[in-house]
Amino acid sequence: MALQPWRKGIVTRIENETINTKRFWIQVPELSTFDFQPGQFVTLDLPIHEKPNKRWRSYSIASWPDGTNVFELLIVLLEGGAGTHYLFHEVHEGSELTLRGPQGIFVLPEVIEQDIYMICTGTGIAPFRSMIHDLKNHNTPHRDIYLVFGTRTQQDLLYLEEMRRMEQEVAHFNYIPTLSREKWEGSCGYVHAIYENLVEEKKNGSPDLPPALFYLCGWKEMIDEAKERLLKIGYDRKAIHQELYG
C-alpha cells in the first residue's frame, strides 16, 4: 500500500462523548471523497515537538466511508499526553490539522466465513464502530459478530445507545459492554471471561473449536493477555488480529 501524502484537514465539529473523550470531525478540502477501509487509521502531525516522530499521533477512524471528505476520530485525554492535551485544549472548530492516511491492515476479510469477535477497551471501539456500520450499509453477509467492549464505569461507555440500536438493526450482531469497576444491569468484570465463555458456548460440548477470527484493539496489556488466552484455548495466531494503542 502506497504511503499517503500529508494533507490539510479542517476540524468542522467537536463534541464531548464522555467527560474525558471527544469526537472530532475532520474535513479534507483537497479531496472530494476521503476513501478508506473500515478499521484503518490516520496519523496527525501535531505542533508539539521539533522532531517529526515525536509529533505524530495515530488514531483509528471512528466513522465509516460515506462518500464525503469528512471523517470522525474518537480521542481520549491522556494524563501527561502532549498530543491529546493539544487536541483538547488548543484545537477548536475551524482549526487546521496536518494528517496522513488512511493507513493500516486492521480490516475485515472481503468474505466473512467465520464468527467475528471484536474485543476492545476504551477508544479501541472506534474501528469496530466503523466496521459495523459499513457491514450494515452494504448488507454484507456475515456470521455471528460479537463486540465485547470493556471499560470501567457507565460514564465511560462510548456510543452506548448507538451500539444498542445497531444490535437491533444488524442481524447476528451482539453488543456486550462490560464494566470492570461498577455493578450494573449488564456484564461485569473483564473482557477475557466474556469471549472465553462465548467460545465455550459455541463449542456446545464439542472438542472442536468453532471457526472464528479475533480482532483486538486497545491497550497493550489487554491485547497481550487476550492473545495468550486465545492461543491457550487452541486458536492459531493467524486467527488473531490486533491494533495496539499506546
pLDDT grade for 206, boundaries at 50, 70 and 90? confident
State residue 1's pLDDT score. 57
pLDDT grade for 116, boundaries at 50, 70 and 90? very high
Give residue-wise pLDDT tens across range 49-94.
999 889 999 999 999 999 999 999 999 999 889 999 999 999 999 9
Alpha-carbon span 12 to 9, nearest angstrom = 9
Q: Are 106 and 39 in contact (CB under 8 A)?
A: yes
State residue 175's pLDDT score. 97
Right CATH for 6-103 from 2.60.40.10, 1.10.10.10, 2.40.30.10, 1.10.290.10: 2.40.30.10
Does residue 102 have a cis peptide bond before it, meaning omega lies within 30 degrees of 0?
A: yes
State residue 240's pLDDT score. 98
Does this model's pTM top 0.85?
A: yes
Nearest in space to 183 (alpha carbons), one of 203, 153, 227, 213: 153
Q: Residue 159 contacts by C-beta under 8 Å, 6 or more apart in sequence? A: 17, 125, 129
Whether the per-residue pLDDT at 149 is higher than 60: the answer is yes
State residue 204's pLDDT score. 85
Q: Are 22 and 14 in contact (CB under 8 A)?
A: yes
User: Of 101 and 2, which is predicted with more confidence?
Assistant: 101
Overall average pLDDT of the 100-111 stretch: 96
Q: Is 197 helix (H, G, I), strand (E, B) or coil?
A: helix
**Residue 107 Cα to chain centre, angstroms:** 11
What number does CATH give the domain 115-245?
A: 3.40.50.80
Q: Average pLDDT of the chain?
A: 95
Nearest in space to 147 (alpha carbons), one of 217, 200, 210, 234: 217
E strand segments, 19-87: 21-27, 41-45, 56-60, 70-76
Residue type, 79: E
Q: Could you tell me the residue ranges of all domains in the chain?
A: 6-103, 115-245
State residue 246's pLDDT score. 54
Nearest in space to 124 (alpha carbons), one of 191, 62, 35, 65: 62
